[in-house]
Amino acid sequence: MPPVNGDGYFTNAKPNTMLTEIHRQAKDRPILRLAKDIRSGKSLEYGTYGTSSVVPDGSLDLEEFLNADQLLVGRNITRSFYNEEIRRALGRVGDMPEIGDRLTCQRND
């Protein structure tokens, strides 16, 4: 899939080969359909998709956050807020990651 914003490293020139089959995710995985919808400009509908859920901001309680495998948010300020809330709930006090912390990368460099 092309990058969400800007040019991708491999999309500036005509490719020799184009992959048309999905190889990194199972075709029937809900997260893949949600990703395709986002990239094509569709709005996500709130609901449960397999083991994934699309929920309004502020609708989950702390226990749900702590039990989630991953949290995907749409804005950097939201990511920072939830990272701080989760770390506080886990008793983390420093600014630096500690053993057991989950990390969120802002860039894929």
Q: Residue 109: its pLDDT value, please? A: 46
Overall pTM surpassing 0.75 (yes/no): no
Is residue 30 domain-shared with residue 64, that is, in the same domain? no
Is residue 31 domain-shared with residue 62, that is, in the same domain? no
Q: Considering its fold, how many domains does the chain have in total? A: 2
Is residue 68 domain-shared with residue 87, that is, in the same domain? yes
Outline where 1-109 has alpha helix (H).
30-39, 62-67, 76-89
More confident residue, 47 or 5: 47
* pLDDT higher than 50, residue 19: yes
Is residue 71 domain-shared with residue 50, that is, in the same domain? no
Is residue 29 domain-shared with residue 40, that is, in the same domain? yes
Is residue 10 domain-shared with residue 43, that is, in the same domain? yes
Structural domain that includes position 42: 1-54
pLDDT digits (tens, 9 = 90+) for 59-94: 888 888 888 888 888 788 888 888 888 888 889 888
Is residue 34 domain-shared with residue 70, that is, in the same domain? no
